[in-house]
Amino acid sequence: MMHRFWAILFSLVPILGIGLYVLAAVGKGSFGGFSLSGLWLPENGNPYAVTIDHLFDLVHIICGVVLGITTSVLAYVVWRYADHPGRNNEAAQYVKHNTLLEWIWTAIPAAILIFLGFYQLQVWADNKMNRPTEMVDGHKQAIEPMALVVGKQFGWEVYYPGTDGRLGTSDDQRIENELTVPVGKPVVLRVEAQDVLHSFSIPGLRVKQDVVPGMTQLVWFQVDKPGTYEILCMELCGWGHYKMRARMKAVSTTSEATTGTEQVASPPSLSQEGGEN
């Protein structure tokens, strides 16, 4: 009865596949000594990106249903139609096509996919195209970047505008690997690279933007709770890629945002440790 064994093996794909996902998503249980909590998306501190998490869950639910149907059919087919010594001599069905079936399994997935495509456009636009605005003198104006972050092998340089309130002037203040942003209001950053490609990424805020030498880009987000976040590099930038990171502090009063910064050359920060490896 080997065919039963294979059918059971294939039935494990939907059972374990969906089962583990559900356990991970609700954050409970353990499997073979490994805890399944803390395996889903990390906590999201960015209200702009709540919709990203929503999409993540929605697509997983849709895909989970499709996975369940198709792989269960696969396991059933092996269970029911496998040839084995005890099987009757019923012949395989001589069926070559069915136009109605083809239409059904083309049209339904097409409708779902097209829906997903258009449904997510707004989320994409909110996070990548429509820079947050503020009211200035009674009319809306795109928020100017509060700091410039420059990626280089292997760390991040943060520049704040000095007393003149403008970036790119001689009174800019620089600090390495430490960014401080205010809590509860939109933050716009200018991101650049000095040598090779890097990627400015904060998983806890769902922010990611490759920084390209020769290009200037903007990222925006909002942090709702005070705390510390890790800024990681997510584009291969050389041997030290794995340790290229900075710390972002979200503080509750805006006045603190620029205090503590001076013309610091290089504080002994995270990216230096372990450099001998």
Partner 1 sequence: MIGIQFLISSLIWFLIGGLMAAAMRWQLAWPWSDMPILGSWLFEGEGGQISPEYYTMLVTMHGSVMVFFVVIPILAGAFGNYLIPLMIGADDMAFPKLNMLSYWFMWPAFVCMMLSFAAPGFGPAAGWTSYPPLAVLEEAAPGSGLAQTLWLGGLTCVGISSMMGSINYITTIVQMRAPGMTFFRLPMTIWAMLITAILQAFALPVLTAAVLMQIADRLLGTCFFIPEGLMVADALPKSGGGQALLWQHLFWFYSHPAVYIMLLPAMGMASDILSSMSRKPLFGYRPMVYSMLSIAGLGFIVWGHHMFVSGMQPLVGAAFMLTTILIALPSGIKTFNWLATLWGGRLQLTTGMLFCLGFIAMFVIGGLSGVLMAVAAVTIFLHDTYYIVAHFHYVLFGGTSLIVIGSIYHWYPKMFGRMMSETLGKFHFFTTFVLINCVFFPMHFLGAQGLPRRYADFTHTDSFVHLQPINEFITYSAFALVGVQVVFILNFFGSMLFGRRAGNNPWRANTLEWVAPSPPPHGNFLAPLEVHRGPYEYSVPGRAQDYWMQTDSELSNG
Instruction: Give 37 or 133: the residue with its C-beta nearer to partner 1.
Output: 37
Cα–Cα distance measured from residue 82 to residue 103, given in angstroms and rounded to the nearest whole number: 28
The verdict on 4 binding partner 1 (CB under 8 A) reads no
- Segment contacting partner 1 (CB under 8 A): 133-141, 166-174, 175-183, 229-237? 229-237
- Residue 96, token pair as written in the block: 């070559």
Interface of this chain with partner 1, residues 85 to 104, rule: CB under 8 A = 87, 90-98, 101-102
The verdict on 81 binding partner 1 (CB under 8 A) reads yes
- Residue 115, token pair as written in the block: 């829906």
Instruction: Give 147 or 246: the residue with its C-beta nearer to partner 1.
Output: 246
Instruction: Give 211 or 257: the residue with its C-beta nearer to partner 1.
Output: 211
Interface of this chain with partner 1, residues 135 to 174, rule: CB under 8 A = 152-153
- Cα→Cα distances 157→154, 203, 241, 244, Å: 10, 19, 15, 11
Vertex 273, ends 267 and 277: CA angle to 5°? 145
Cα–Cα distance measured from residue 195 to residue 151, given in angstroms and rounded to the nearest whole number: 8
Among 45, 147, 235, 261, contact with partner 1 (rule: CB under 8 A) = 235
Task: Convert residues 105-124 into a mask of x (bound to partner 1 by CB under 8 A) and - (unbound).
Answer: xx--xx--xx-xx--xx-xx
Q: Could you tell me the smallest distance in angstroms from the CB atom of residue 74 to partner 1?
A: 6
The verdict on 20 binding partner 1 (CB under 8 A) reads yes
The verdict on 29 binding partner 1 (CB under 8 A) reads no
CB environment 1-35: b (16+ within 10 A), e (fewer): eebeeebeebbebbeeebeebebbbeeeeeeeeee
Interface of this chain with partner 1, residues 243 to 262, rule: CB under 8 A = 243, 245
250, β-bridge pairs? 181, 227
Interface of this chain with partner 1, residues 180 to 199, rule: CB under 8 A = 194-197, 199
Q: Could you tell me the smallest distance in angstroms from the CB atom of residue 65 to partner 1?
A: 10
- Residue 43, token pair as written in the block: 């906590």
158, β-bridge pairs? 149, 175
**Omega prior to 154 cis, within 30 of 0:** yes
The verdict on 201 binding partner 1 (CB under 8 A) reads yes
Q: Could you tell me the smallest distance in angstroms from the CB atom of residue 86 to partner 1?
A: 13
Interface of this chain with partner 1, residues 53 to 72, rule: CB under 8 A = 55-56, 59-60, 62-63, 66-67, 70-71
Are the C-beta atoms of residues 156 and 150 closer than 8 Å to each other? yes
- Segment contacting partner 1 (CB under 8 A): 81-89, 137-145, 250-258, 259-267? 81-89
Cα–Cα distance measured from residue 34 to residue 169, given in angstroms and rounded to the nearest whole number: 52
